[in-house]
Amino acid sequence: MLLAEVVDTSLAVGATRSRTAKAEAVAALLRRAPADEVAPATAWLSGELLQGRVGVGHRTLAGLRVPPAAEAGLEVADVDGTLSEVASASGAGSSAHRTSLLRDLLTRATATEQRFLVDLVRGELRQGALEGVVLDAVARAADVPAAAVRRSFMLSGSLPDTARTALGDGQAGLEATALTLMRPVRPMLASPGSSLDEAMSALSGSPAGVTVEHKLDGARIQVHRDGDDVRVWTRTLREVTDGVPELVEHVRALPCTTAVLDGETLSLDDDGRPRAFQDTMSRFGSDGPAGAGPAGHADAAVVLSPFFFDLLHLDGRDLLDEPLAVRLNALAGLLAADEHAPLRMQGVRGATADQAAQVLDDALTSGHEGVVVKDLAAPYAAGRRGRAWQKVKPVHTLDLVVVGVERGSGRRSGTWSNIHLGARDPEGGEPVMVGKTFKGMTDELLAWQTETLPRHARDGEDLDGYVIALRPELVVEIALDGAQRSSRYPGGVALRFARVLRYRPDKDAAEADTLDGVRALLP
């Protein structure tokens, strides 16, 4: 298959806002792709490389100005092979070797293909084919149920691998995908609930009832154990085992041989109250776009405590497809066996409305964010699909993408201050601007923004200007009083009294809240 066919599909996807049209365009390409080219084509159409980062920076790519080829002739397998060679280059002279490989590749590409490849390598391919769209496309191309594709993806953690399995082995192959110890599972996420009463009402039809648990201001973790081998991943499936030895020791002490646990971790002060989010994140380093938020300073006082709320596997038995009630019973038995075991997330099973209100009050009094209301009959499912888990906070918060920034004035002169906020387009396009704010910023955060945000400027931006547009890479958590209709922004909605709570280095732009989520706050 020619690279030009992938590029044409990418352009077609970017030219429409219809999710159905995007999925069908990708599916049509995948149906034509040879078996060994399904994985790279799938990765590229979701804006990723099979190789991950290949060790080439923006400056190097900007300097690779070569005349384009007159006709399209590059094949997908050829491009993927070159990118693998670039990624594997190491040692003395590796930088020059990578540059030479890319220069030769671009020399054989047309002008349109050059733009595609450069954007792909530097992680800026904004074509609107987000993860959900590509998963739908894989199901269409392979003529298999979308649910089977999503479950296989949850267990494999790799969209290209899932596509290869679906196109090669069909539904039987997808259903054979199993939970594998030491291969992280994509996490199940909670949808925002507008209020505790509405969340309880929405799940009132569950035959098993609900559980209401504390929502911590911590970092999501998934921990696998196989004998004495224990490994830890973040919500983005980045392994952090070496940096969290106390979590490893907690799980190694459990009375089991194999286990997969899901939960959160945070640092507590001497009174048992949560320390600042930045303190917890300082133990994880950069998780997400480079430099995504002031990291804080790890010290001896920043000891992490685990709070587990789910159990996906125990001693040879997979629990993913079991109701949450069954998983919680197994978790309670595991954690109760040792008084020094990791902490179970606090909450009440089978909670009534009054009990749920008390759990929320207890969580807030303890310094936590709120609660999560969960359907006890629900199996474990990756992503934020459906309403089986709903998080409720007393103050509206949104995770938004920073799409631009303005120079400060007055006391903020000399800083990059007023940030432009974008909500994720549910159809897979560019983030849609819904507001601006400089409120809530400390002097430390302003200094960090001034140093960091220009490094995320889009190509061609004048860094001496008043406003710069940014690549959609950084996620910031915003508190707000609600939303209002507005013709000022393209989404027809604007934030009310938005203020910065913190940057979210543990999230990327694909996990930001959608424009539909903002609109849901309209009165």
Query: Three-state SS string across 144-213, please?
Result: CCHHHHHHHHHHHCCHHHHHHHHHHHHHHHHHCCCCCCCCCCCCECCEECCCHHHHHHHCCCCCCCEEEE
Q: What is d(CA 474, CA 405) in angstroms, rounded to the nearest whole number?
A: 12
* pLDDT computed for residue 292 by the predictor: 40
Mean pLDDT of 210-238: 95
Task: Count CB neighbours of 354 within 10 A.
Answer: 8
Tokens of 106: 């671009």
Residue 387 is predicted with a pLDDT of: 86
Confidence at 101, pLDDT banded by 50, 70, 90: very high
Helix, strand, or coil (residue 465): coil
- The predicted pLDDT at position 247 comes to 95
- Residues of the chain with pLDDT > 90, as a percent, come to 68
**Mean pLDDT within 466-480:** 94
Of 217, 205, 215, the residue nearest 359 (C-alpha):
215
Mean pLDDT of all residues belonging to the chain: 90
The C-alpha atoms of residue 202 and residue 412 are separated, in whole angstroms, by 45
**In which element (H, E) is residue 507 found?**
none
Going from the C-alpha of 52 to that of each of 86, 158, 221, 362, 436, the distances in angstroms are 11, 12, 22, 43, 32
In the chain, % helix, strand, coil (3-state, to 5) comes to 35, 25, 40
Contact (Cβ atoms closer than 8 angstroms) between residue 160 and residue 43: yes
- The helix/strand/coil state of 455 is helix
Question: From CA 452, how far away is CA 289, in angstroms rounded?
Answer: 11
268-312 residue pLDDT tens:
988 888 988 878 888 886 543 333 444 444 455 689 999 999 999
Query: How does pLDDT run across 3-45, given as a tens digit for each residue?
Result: 999 999 999 998 888 889 999 999 999 999 999 999 999 999 9
Which tens digit of pLDDT belongs to each residue from 124-169? 787 656 788 999 999 999 999 999 999 999 999 899 999 999 999 9
CB-neighbour burial class of residue 142 (10 A; exposed 0-12, middle 13-18, buried 19+): buried
Q: Tell me which residue has tokens 């530097």.
A: 122
Which pLDDT does position 335 carry in this prediction? 92
Is-contact 472 509, C-beta < 8 A? yes
Write down the pLDDT at residue 396: 83
- Which of 137, 113, 121 has its CA nearest to residue 21? 137
Q: What's the token pair of residue 214?
A: 């504390």
Average pLDDT over residues 102-122: 93
Domains and CATH numbers, the chain: 3-175 (1.10.3260.10), 191-392 (3.30.470.30), 396-519 (2.40.50.140)
For residue 29, the model assigns a pLDDT of: 97
User: What pLDDT score does 294 carry?
Assistant: 45
pLDDT at 291: 36
Q: What is the mean pLDDT of residues 255-269?
A: 95
Tokens of 100: 């030479």
Per-residue DSSP letters for 320-334? TTS-HHHHHHHHHHH
Query: Are the beta carbons of 478 and 387 closer than 8 angstroms?
Result: no
- Describe the crossing of helices 111-121 and 94-107 by its angle, rounded to 10 degrees: 150
In the structure, what pLDDT confidence band is assigned to residue 481 with cuts at 50, 70 and 90? confident
Q: What gap in Å lies between CA 233 and CA 263, rounded to an integer? A: 11
Where in the sequence numbering do the catalytic residues fall?
215
Nearest in space to 480 (alpha carbons), one of 503, 500, 498 = 498
Backbone torsions φ then ψ of 189, nearest 5 degrees: -115, 160
**pLDDT by residue (tens digit) across 63-80?**
888 999 999 999 999 999
What is the Cα 68 distance to its own chain's centre? 35
Task: Look at residues 418, 384, 427 and name the one whose alpha carbon lies nearest to residue 192.
Answer: 384
Residue-wise pLDDT tens digits, 297-350: 445 568 999 999 999 999 999 999 999 999 999 999 999 866 655 688 999 999
Nearest-angstrom CA–CA distance, 192 and 209:
19
First and final CA of the chain: distance in angstroms? 51
pLDDT value for 280: 86
